[in-house]
Chains A and B, each alone.
Chain A
Amino acid sequence: MEEDIIKIKNLVKKFGDFTAVDDITFNVKKGEIFAFLGPNGAGKTTTIKMLTTLASPTSGTILINGYDPTKQQEETRESFGIVFQDPSLDDDLTAYENLDMHGMLYKVRKKDRRERIEQLLNFVELWDRRKDLVKHFSGGMKRRLEIARGFLHHPKVLFLDEPTIGLDPQTRNHIWNYLKKMNQEEGTTVFLTTHYMEEADKVCDRIAIIDHGKIVAQGTSEELKAKTNTDYLEDAFLALTGTAIREEAVKNQAMSGRARAWRR
């Protein structure tokens, strides 16, 4: 299982003269849970957008499951699932319909779709609520539903951009358990960003830390702690990225969509 499922080489993304992602190179191994950490505005979301065909790189190469997201968009899109930072469900449809529609878009056959949806809704403990409109769901339920949706088409890689943000510890704990379980049972590679260092430490096999668009360190949690001579990942993170508070660059913020501005 030493094969690399995500290969990123010299990846650059510029918005005008602002460089959001500055020549990053790293690989993610098949079947691992990989954390992509960094302060706000470091370039995490922009990188995920490039990996998931939503933004095109200024330069550099990406391979997801052997496909180039800039040239083989459909093959790439079939290879991954994604849970975005902001909710992306249709509030006017039921939980079941949201998953069913996803399955149809990903060309999962009807019978498989039905079985898979039942399995996943049971898995995230929402089967009883399958006929409820998503607009009546809490933030945590929506997040669980999105995770189920992300796994529905058996993706090789699941991207999650801050999957536990704003959720209570119980729900966060559940979400990490789901991810670990699916990672073990189905071998799905998980690529996530988070600000909860303790959770990243517990769950993730390897970590890359990005700051100001550059990878400042990568390795296992132990390696990062050893490198910085610290006992906790959070301290290692602060040692590597400094303690100054970051303001997200304006251009980057505009890029990440008005939706977030609206929610504030």
Chain B
Amino acid sequence: MIAIYTLWLRELKKYFRSKSRIIGSLGQPILFLVALGFGLGPVFQKAGQGNYIQFLVPGIISMSILFLAVFSGISVIWDRQFGFLKETLVAPVPRWQIMLGRTLGGATVAIMQGFIVFGISFLAGFKLANPMALPITLVFMALIALIFTALGTAIASVLEDMHGFQLIMNFLVMPIFFLSGALFPLTNLPKALNIIVRLNPLSYGVDGIRATLDGFSQFGLMTDFWISIIAVAILISIGSYLFSKIQV
């Protein structure tokens, strides 16, 4: 178990050491919050959907977690390029423990980033509907973080270098974000889009966070929870399998 702790600690140390990374990855969520929140707010209100900032903040928190989680997972590629991966691969520790440690570390970092965005959202006028539900919010933040760190690790385990990174951002991470209900309500969607949204694990995480922060849920909290748990289990399994097959 000390191996899991060691790699978890490494992710945290690296996170706190790179201030530019912390600040840099705040840019996009804040931009979305300000541009969409204030830009589309009046339209949203007129459509009779209520306050858009209230609706949007759970989506933006999820987004910041999603991006940082995938990014943390992908860092396996950097470690491969800079050689550090080999050091962990010859250590007398089962590979799944290495993977799990990295994933827990990456997820922790992503959750912290989510909290920073959460804090900033109050500046944009976000109001907490039910403070008692915050522990459950945290659970969903953690689930999103775990799902997508594991996904990032799984992808990075089969990629050899960073060339595929743009591809992953544009054809996987961005669609996951945009087609998740983070930005718009999931009622009255075209059928095809509705199916995609329902296949997207992030939809349930966003819905869970929204349910706890704003009191509004599309799928129901229990559905959100169990689907997210299943997604975590599947992706961590796939991730550790692929990680254990890495050849250097």
Contact = CB atoms under 8 A, between A and B. Distances in A.
The DSSP consensus for interface residues of chain B is helix
Interface string A95-108: 00100011011110
Contact of B84 (A52, A89, A257, A258): A89
Nearest to B98: A105
Interface string A37-55: 0000000000000001111
A243 interface: no
A244 interface: no
Given A54-B247, A106-B91, A258-B160, A101 B6 contact: yes
A141 interface: no
A82 B83 CA distance: 13
A92 B79 CA distance: 11
B91 A77 contact: yes
Contacts of B85: 88
A88 B87 contact: yes
Given A87-B82, A91-B82, A104-B3, A78 B92 contact: yes
Contacts, number: 82
Central interface residue in B13, B84, B85, by most chain A CB within 10 Å: B84
B189 interface: no
B184 to A, nearest CB: 39
A235 interface: no
Contacts of A78: 92
A88 B86 contact: yes
A107 B4 CA distance: 12
A96 B139 CA distance: 35
B187 to A, nearest CB: 46
B84 A74 contact: no
A245 interface: no
B77 to A, nearest CB: 10
Nearest to B89: A54
Nearest to B3: A105
Given A54-B247, A258-B160, A259-B82, A105 B88 contact: yes
B91 to A, nearest CB: 4
A77 B90 contact: yes
Interface in A53-71: 53-55
B14 interface: yes
Contacts of A77: 90-92
A260 to B, nearest CB: 10
Interface string A244-261: 000000000001011100
B40 interface: no
Contacts of B2: 104-105, 107
B92 A106 contact: yes
A90 interface: yes
A86 interface: yes
A257 B6 contact: no
A84 interface: yes
B93 interface: yes
Contacts of A24: none
B90 A92 contact: no
A163 to B, nearest CB: 14
Interface in B91-114: 91-94
Contacts of A107: 2, 92
Nearest to A89: B84
Interface in B14-54: 14, 17-18
Interface string B44-84: 00000000000000000000000000000000000111111
B86 A54 contact: yes
B246 to A, nearest CB: 10
Contacts of A255: 247
A93 interface: yes
B66 to A, nearest CB: 23
Contacts of B127: none
A90 B29 CA distance: 29
6 interchain residue pairs of minimum CB distance: A88-B83, A77-B92, A105-B91, A104-B6, A78-B92, A88-B87
Interface of A: 52-55, 73-75, 77-78, 80, 82, 84, 86-93, 97, 101-102, 104-107, 149, 255, 257-259, 262
22 contacts: A54-B90, A73-B92, A77-B90, A82-B90, A84-B83, A88-B83, A88-B84, A89-B83, A90-B14, A90-B84, A92-B17, A93-B10, A97-B13, A104-B2, A105-B3, A105-B92, A105-B93, A106-B92, A255-B247, A258-B80, A258-B160, A259-B80
Given A80-B90, A102-B87, A257-B80, 6 more contacts: A74-B92, A88-B87, A90-B14, A102-B91, A104-B5, A107-B2
